[in-house]
């Protein structure tokens, strides 16, 4: 395992064998005018990116900026709507990952493309057509794998089954997979999000030896420290376009954060001045793990007051999702406590928490928040069907349900011919109104709202925000989780920044500088918590 090398600039000059940014050599990868849209969203809006051979090029940006989409296009998982890809000076079409690999482009995804029950060796050769023999020639393959592994510090046992490996080791297998197929461009999508600090330095050592051996690396990340540590150049994406490409040695974290987050004047919704009330939710030293068994929340503590919106800022994957799940009974807490007024929520079930008056507006409004095949009326009852007047002696009271539904549809402007329409026929905005109508009826004391305006059009977005502010005026305590920093800035009274499961800082919103928040979100600096 290699020792940490000095800063990029020095390395650049000192390494003679690695191809550098010397004129005359075509760039390894050129993306010209890439446009990619999904229904309702422009993910890439005319992106031009040049990656020189032999460099480590970072793609920096928040979630939704378009980094992963862009690289997936390069890897053949998506096809661009417009634009061209030029590799080493030649225009190519990459119609599938297999084609990408043929063009020597490999990708290590955030969620590994590995088959857990197969061995390392089997995963590496899966789909490879290495000649007439159907046999595995294991000894030869394993020797080859071992050589590659040793050369780049990627030691792993070729015969081990993937499920037996640690996440860091699995990542090595993903890298080896690309190397075995002679990739000379390696795309890495947020690779350190699943690694321990030691594994991170191991990875960086590997990346440097790969570059020394002639590879080109594109490194997607949202963490500024990493960018400064490992990259030669960095391109910042924001809302689907590249807002700047700089040499890492010529920039600093502040500048990058500013590029990442933008300096547009945020249109501030007139937030009524409201006195905040008593503590509603008290979280102490909360720990929990994510689905992979890794630490998602690492001892966070904060208080949430009535008539306040606490915005949780941070790039997705830093513990926000797990936080919302623990607070709504969908995930077990390892350690620590969450107390709602006088009740200990920590180990309550989802049903008990809902009964206590906690509203949950989930991230996935269709997949989790509704039953698409059921009617509006039935969806509105999803949490309250057990209570009077909606059910009596086990029977559902249809009249009460209908009246309630009609009232809700009016109050929340759910647009549909009548309440018997199936939820799956509604637009995204109407579905969210449905969810809000359901969650907010009964004046909940605590509202957990996760990405409430994601994917909604302007009108629906405004409406949702108005609704949240209304609830705030009525005394609700709101935990707002969002990747949209503008939204957090507009709506929150205080802002809490989560990074790698820890609180980086809690600031009052009216004094918050977006760039500073950007720095916190990117793991840069810790701050005094403002209560």
Partner 1 sequence: MRLLSRIHVERRTTPPAWVVVSVSVGAIIAALLVAGIFFRAYGISPLRAYGDILRGAFGSRLGITETIRRAIPLLLIGVGLTVAFRALFWNIGAEGQLLVGAVAASGIALFSGLPGALLLPAMFIGGFLAGAAWGIIPAALKSKLGINDVITTLMMNYIAIYIVEWLIHGPWKGPTMRGFAYTDPFPAAAVLSTVGDTRIHWPTLVIGIAAAIIAYVLVKRTRAGFEIRVVGENPHAAKYSGISHVKVTLLAMAFSGGMAGMAGVGEVAGIHHMLLGPANVTGGYGYTAIIVAWLARRNPLAVIVTAFLFAVLLRGGDVIKVSLGLPFQLVNVFNGLILFFLIGSDILMRYRISFDRKERRAA
Partner 2 sequence: MNWESWVIATFSRTLAYGTPLLLATLGEIYAERSGVLNLGVEGMMVIGAFAGFAVAHSTGNPWLGVLIASVVGGIFSLIHAFASITLRANQVVSGLALTMLGLGLSGVLGRRFEGWPLLHPLEEVTVPGLSRIPVLGPILFDGQNVLVYIAIALAIVLWYVLYRTRIGVSIRAVGEDPATADSLGVNVARIRYLCVFVGGVLAGMAGGYLSIAYRPSWTDGMTAGMGWIVIALTIFAFWNPLLGLVGAYFFAALFHLSFRLQAWVAPEILKAMPYALAILVLIAVSRGTLQKRMGAPSALTLPYRRGEE
Burial class (CB in 10 A: 0-12, 13-18, 19+), 443: exposed
Q: Are 346 and 336 in contact (CB under 8 A)?
A: yes
Query: How far is the C-alpha of 277 from the C-alpha of 474, rounded, in Å?
Result: 11
Among 43-51, 170-178, 273-281, 344-352, the segment contacting partner 1 (CB under 8 A): 344-352
Q: Minimal distance in Å, beta carbon 422 to partner 1?
A: 6
- Residue 134 makes contact with partner 2 by CB under 8 A: yes
How many C-beta atoms lie closer than 10 Å to residue 198's C-beta? 10
- Residue 462 makes contact with partner 1 by CB under 8 A: no
Count of residues in contact with partner 2, rule CB under 8 A = 24
- Residue 126 makes contact with partner 2 by CB under 8 A: yes
Encoded tokens for 268: 């501030």
- Residue 374 makes contact with partner 1 by CB under 8 A: yes
Which residues between 158 and 197 bind partner 2 (CB under 8 A)? 161, 163
Among 115, 128, 143, 371, binds partner 1 (CB under 8 A): 371
From the list partner 1, partner 2, none, pick the one residue 78 interacts with, judged by a Cβ distance below 5 to 8 Å according to partner type. Answer: partner 2
Nearest CB to partner 1, comparing residues 79 and 373: 373
CA 26 vs CA 19, 101, 520: distances in Å: 11, 20, 37
Residue with tokens 């989409």: 69
Q: Are 431 and 416 in contact (CB under 8 A)?
A: no
Among 115, 278, 368, 530, binds partner 1 (CB under 8 A): 368
- Residue 329 makes contact with partner 1 by CB under 8 A: yes
Among 127-135, 217-225, 315-323, 511-519, the segment contacting partner 2 (CB under 8 A): 127-135
- Residue 330 makes contact with partner 2 by CB under 8 A: no
Among 159, 425, 462, 473, binds partner 1 (CB under 8 A): 425
**Closest by alpha carbon to 324, among 485, 506, 517, 480?**
480
Nearest CB to partner 1, comparing residues 262 and 362: 362
Which residues between 75 and 94 bind partner 2 (CB under 8 A)? 77-78
Query: How far is the C-alpha of 458 from the C-alpha of 466, rounded, in Å?
Result: 12
Q: Are 170 and 99 in contact (CB under 8 A)?
A: no
Q: Are 53 and 230 in contact (CB under 8 A)?
A: no
Residue with tokens 């309550």: 348
CA 254 distance to own-chain centroid: 22
CA 204 vs CA 3, 59, 104, 148, 192: distances in Å: 9, 16, 21, 17, 10
- Give me the residues that bind partner 2 (CB under 8 A), please: 77-78, 96-98, 101, 113-118, 122, 125-128, 130, 134-136, 138, 161, 163
- Give me the residues that bind partner 1 (CB under 8 A), please: 39, 329-330, 349-354, 360, 362, 364, 367-374, 378, 381-383, 385-386, 391, 394-396, 398, 422, 424-427, 430
């Amino acid at each position: 395992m290699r020792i940490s090398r000095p800063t990029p600039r020095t390395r650049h000059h000192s390494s003679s064998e690695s191809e550098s940014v010397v004129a005359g050599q075509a760039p390894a990868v050129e993306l010209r005018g890439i446009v990619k849209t999904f229904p309702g969203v422009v993910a890439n809006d005319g992106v031009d990116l040049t990656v020189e051979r032999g460099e480590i090029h970072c793609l920096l940006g928040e979630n939704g900026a378009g980094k992963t989409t862009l690289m997936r296009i390069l890897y053949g998982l998506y096809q661009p709507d417009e634009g061209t890809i030029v590799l080493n000076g030649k225009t190519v079409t990459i119609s599938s990952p297999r084609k990408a690999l043929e063009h020597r482009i490999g990708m290590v995804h955030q969620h590994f493309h590995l088959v857990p029950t197969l061995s390392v060796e089997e995963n590496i050769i899966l789909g490879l057509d290495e000649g007439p023999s159907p046999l595995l020639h294991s000894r030869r393959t394993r020797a080859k794998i071992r050589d590659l592994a040793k050369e780049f510090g990627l030691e792993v046992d070729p015969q081990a089954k993937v499920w037996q490996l640690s996440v860091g080791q699995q990542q090595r297998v993903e890298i080896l997979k690309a190397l075995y197929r002679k990739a000379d461009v390696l795309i890495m999508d947020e690779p350190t999000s699943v690694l321990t600090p030691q594994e991170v330095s191991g990875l960086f050592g590997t990346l440097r030896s790969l570059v020394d051996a002639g590879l080109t690396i594109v490194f997607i990340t949202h963490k500024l420290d990493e960018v400064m540590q490992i990259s030669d150049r960095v391109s910042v994406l924001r809302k689907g376009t590249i807002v700047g490409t700089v040499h890492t040695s010529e920039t600093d974290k502040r500048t990058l954060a500013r590029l990442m987050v933008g300096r547009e004047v945020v249109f501030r919704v007139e937030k009524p001045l409201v006195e905040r009330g008593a503590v509603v939710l008290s979280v102490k030293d909360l720990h929990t793990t994510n689905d992979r068994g890794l630490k998602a929340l690492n001892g966070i503590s904060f208080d949430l007051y009535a008539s306040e919106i606490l915005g949780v800022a941070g790039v997705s994957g830093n513990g926000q999702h797990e936080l919302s799940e623990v607070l709504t009974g969908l995930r077990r807490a390892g350690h620590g406590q969450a107390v709602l007024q006088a009740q200990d929520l920590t180990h309550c079930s989802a049903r008990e928490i809902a009964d206590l008056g906690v509203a949950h507006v989930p991230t996935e409004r269709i997949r989790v928040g509704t039953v698409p095949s059921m009617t509006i009326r039935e969806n509105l009852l999803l949490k309250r069907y057990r209570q009077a007047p909606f059910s009596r002696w086990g029977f559902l009271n249809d009249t009460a349900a209908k009246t309630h539904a009609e009232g809700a549809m009016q109050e929340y402007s759910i647009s549909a011919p009548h309440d018997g329409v199936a939820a799956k026929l509604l637009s995204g905005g109407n579905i969210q109104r449905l969810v809000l109508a359901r969650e907010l009826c009964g004046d909940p004391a605590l509202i957990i709202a996760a990405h409430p305006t994601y994917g909604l059009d302007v009108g629906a977005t405004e409406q949702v925000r108005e609704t949240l502010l209304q609830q705030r005026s009525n005394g609700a305590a709101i935990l707002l989780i969002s990747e949209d920093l503008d939204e957090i800035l507009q709506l929150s009274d205080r802002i809490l920044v989560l990074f790698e499961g820890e609180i980086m800082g809690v600031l009052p919103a009216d004094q918050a500088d977006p760039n500073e928040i950007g720095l916190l979100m990117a793991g840069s600096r810790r701050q005094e918590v403002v209560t």
